[in-house]
């Protein structure tokens, strides 16, 4: 298990004084990036070999969003490598071990020179010892959205959306979806699926739908092919 320690800053809270949904996801992503950095297999080192880890799905459960000034710890560990995929859990908690959020995620190894997934290198697996998965409900990784979703916004991808892989970072998709939520919508879970990588100059068509117990958001190209699908419970 890999752990980082943090404190909730003002720049990461919402109007209610609690850490924002997208900021929680950012904290989880930062934790696994620091894990890679300290293991000697950082994103920048992988780029030198034309390799990258790209996320394909998130399932995050929010027990309680931490408040401004709270001390928190974020833990992560991989629990499975198979073919091109790696699966990783996350846990956010207080110093008293109150669980604030937990998550499951699936990633795939990517050959950036060839532009396609690649079988995980043996040395990449060896630096990440696996541990048993976190005990949680494993929801389907595919997100099914209702038909007839309403177009809310068309967004052009600008440089500030991009990460070191030269495409829109997964946290940016989540942030755009969160920004479309109705005010004070009570989010207990987030499920996200990533299908295509949007790049500089692409347009993201944000569509939403609301049912009795869920809020859906998608980001697609102009033909309707999804980059990202998300549901909030």
Q: How does the average pLDDT of the chain come out, rounded?
A: 96
Residues 100-111 have pLDDT tens digits of 999 999 999 999
- Give pLDDT, residue 22: 97
3-state secondary structure of 175: helix
CATH domain 2-126 topology: Thiol Ester Dehydrase; Chain A (3.10.129)
Residues 148-179 have pLDDT tens digits of 999 999 999 999 999 999 999 999 999 999 99
Count other C-beta atoms under 10 Å from residue 142's C-beta.
11
Q: What percent of the chain has pLDDT over 90?
A: 96
Q: Of 152, 157, 154, nearest to 208 (Cα)? A: 152
Rounded Cα distance between 220 and 152, Å, is: 12
Q: What is the mean pLDDT of residues 175-203?
A: 96
- Give pLDDT, residue 176: 97
Which pTM was predicted? 0.95
3-state secondary structure of 67: strand
Phi, psi of 124 (to 5 degrees): -70, -35
Phi, psi of 69 (to 5 degrees): 90, -10
Q: How far is CA 98 from the centre of its chain?
A: 22
Domain positions in the chain: 2-126, 150-232
- Give pLDDT, residue 25: 97
Structure tokens of 174?
A: 């989540």
Q: What is the mean pLDDT of residues 43-50?
A: 94
Entry field: residues in the chain: 233
Do 2-126 and 150-232 fold alike per CATH? yes
Report whether 62 contacts 72 (CB < 8 A): no
- Give pLDDT, residue 138: 86
Count other C-beta atoms under 10 Å from residue 73's C-beta.
16
203: Cβ contacts below 8 Å, ≥ 6 apart: 154, 155, 156, 157, 221, 222
CATH domain 150-232 topology: Thiol Ester Dehydrase; Chain A (3.10.129)
pLDDT at position 1 over 90: yes
Residues 80-123 have pLDDT tens digits of 999 999 999 999 999 999 999 999 999 999 999 999 999 999 98
Work out the burial of residue 97: count CB atoms within 10 Å of its CB; fewer than 13 is exposed, 13-18 middle, 19 or more buried.
exposed
- Give pLDDT, residue 93: 98
Rounded Cα distance between 115 and 165, Å, is: 11
- State whether the Cα torsion 150-153-156-162 is positive or negative: negative
CA-based max dimension of the chain: 49
Rounded Cα distance between 217 and 62, Å, is: 18
End-to-end CA distance of the chain: 28
């Amino acid at each position: 298990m890999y752990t980082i320690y943090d404190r909730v800053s003002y720049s990461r809270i919402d109007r209610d004084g609690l850490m924002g949904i997208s900021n929680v996801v950012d904290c989880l992503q930062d934790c696994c990036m620091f894990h890679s950095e300290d293991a000697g297999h950082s994103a920048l080192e992988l780029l030198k070999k034309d390799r990258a880890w790209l996320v394909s799905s998130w399932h995050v459960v929010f027990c309680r969003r931490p408040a401004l000034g709270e001390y928190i710890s974020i833990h992560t560990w991989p629990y499975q490598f198979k073919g091109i995929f790696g699966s990783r859990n996350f846990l956010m908690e207080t110093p008293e071990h109150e669980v604030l959020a937990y998550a499951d995620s699936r990633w795939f190894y990517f050959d950036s020179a060839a532009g396609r997934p690649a079988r995980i290198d043996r040395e990449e697996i060896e630096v990440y010892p696996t541990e048993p998965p976190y005990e949680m409900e494993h929801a389907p990784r595919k997100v099914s959205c209702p038909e007839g979703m309403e177009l809310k916004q068309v967004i052009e991808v600008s440089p500030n959306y991009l990460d070191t892989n030269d495409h829109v970072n997964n946290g940016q998709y989540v942030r755009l979806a969160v920004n479309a939520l109705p005010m004070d919508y009570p989010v207990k879970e987030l499920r996200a699926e990533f299908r295509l990588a949007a790049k500089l100059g692409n347009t993201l068509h944000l569509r939403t739908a609301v049912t009795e117990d869920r809020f859906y958001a998608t980001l697609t190209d102009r033909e309707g092919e999804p980059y990202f699908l998300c549901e909030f419970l």
